[in-house]
């Protein structure tokens, strides 16, 4: 029988919060745009319907490049020139960040904590994208003993050093960490680093979290 892992390591992005693709209705309301204005759908799009997303998935542009383009496009719709991601997030999501947190995530960390498991976040752009004060508005962030954010380290997943920050910080072997991310390039990086990985499906978050909890034995 396989020994359960000891730590749950989560990307932030689409793993903890609902993606911006899933909250176009909220964004349109916040910006005063007619329903259906925002048509980019990323992983929810039919093949060929979001070629910019497909270019990112193919490695032709970075994830940051993708969001820079969407930020510029959306700002132009309301006559605003946003130069920083937090401006985009603040305008798109309003003053209630908790409204976009996945309930499946809250259930999962409650289960993990009750089972004595350790919690960490490994993000490429947590504070860069959401703003430095964002995490202070989410009480559950206090449950994470380690937050590794490339906003400050400058080392982006899937660089093996990014995963090393987690294992060194927790003092655990890589195989003892269940790493969850919604980008396959980052999952492949985690696997190469020796972590036990779950490729998060943003279209079925409950199943992905159930898989992670099973690996933790909780």
**What pLDDT score was predicted for residue 99?**
84
Separation between Cα atoms, residue 110 and residue 29, nearest integer Å = 32
Q: DSSP class of residue 44?
A: G
**What pLDDT score was predicted for residue 1?**
53
**What pLDDT score was predicted for residue 2?**
77
As given in the structure block, the two tokens for residue 189 are: 């990086």
| Mean pLDDT along residues 49-68 | 93
User: Could you read off the pLDDT of 82-141 as tens digits, one per residue?
Assistant: 999 889 988 988 777 788 899 999 999 999 999 999 999 999 989 988 888 888 889 999
Domains of the chain (ranges, CATH numbers): 7-17+101-216 (3.40.50.1000), 24-96 (no CATH)
User: Within 10 Å of residue 42's Cβ, how many Cβ atoms?
Assistant: 20
User: Could you read off the pLDDT of 176-200 as tens digits, one per residue?
Assistant: 999 999 999 999 999 999 999 999 9
More confident residue, 85 or 11: 11
């Amino acid at each position: 029988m396989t020994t359960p892992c000891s730590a749950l390591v989560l990307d932030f992005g689409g793993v903890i919060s609902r993606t911006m693709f899933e909250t176009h209705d909220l964004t349109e309301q916040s910006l005063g745009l007619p329903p259906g204005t925002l048509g980019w759908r990323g992983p929810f799009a039919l093949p060929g319907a979001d070629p910019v997303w497909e270019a990112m998935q193919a490695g032709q542009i970075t994830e940051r490049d993708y969001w820079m383009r969407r930020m510029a496009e959306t700002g132009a719709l309301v006559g605003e020139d946003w130069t920083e991601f937090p401006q985009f997030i603040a305008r798109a999501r309003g003053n209630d960040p908790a409204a976009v947190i996945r309930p499946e995530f809250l259930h999962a960390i409650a289960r993990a904590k009750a089972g004595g498991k350790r919690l960490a976040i490994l993000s490429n752009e947590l504070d860069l994208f959401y703003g430095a004060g964002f995490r202070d508005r989410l009480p559950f962030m206090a449950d994470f003993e380690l937050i590794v954010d490339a906003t400050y380290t400058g080392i982006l997943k899937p660089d093996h050093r990014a995963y090393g920050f987690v294992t060194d910080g927790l003092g655990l072997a890589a195989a003892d960490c269940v790493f969850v991310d919604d980008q396959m390039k980052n999952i492949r990086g985690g696997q190469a680093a020796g972590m036990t990985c779950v490729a998060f499906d943003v279209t079925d978050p409950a199943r992905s979290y159930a898989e992670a909890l099973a690996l933790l034995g909780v």
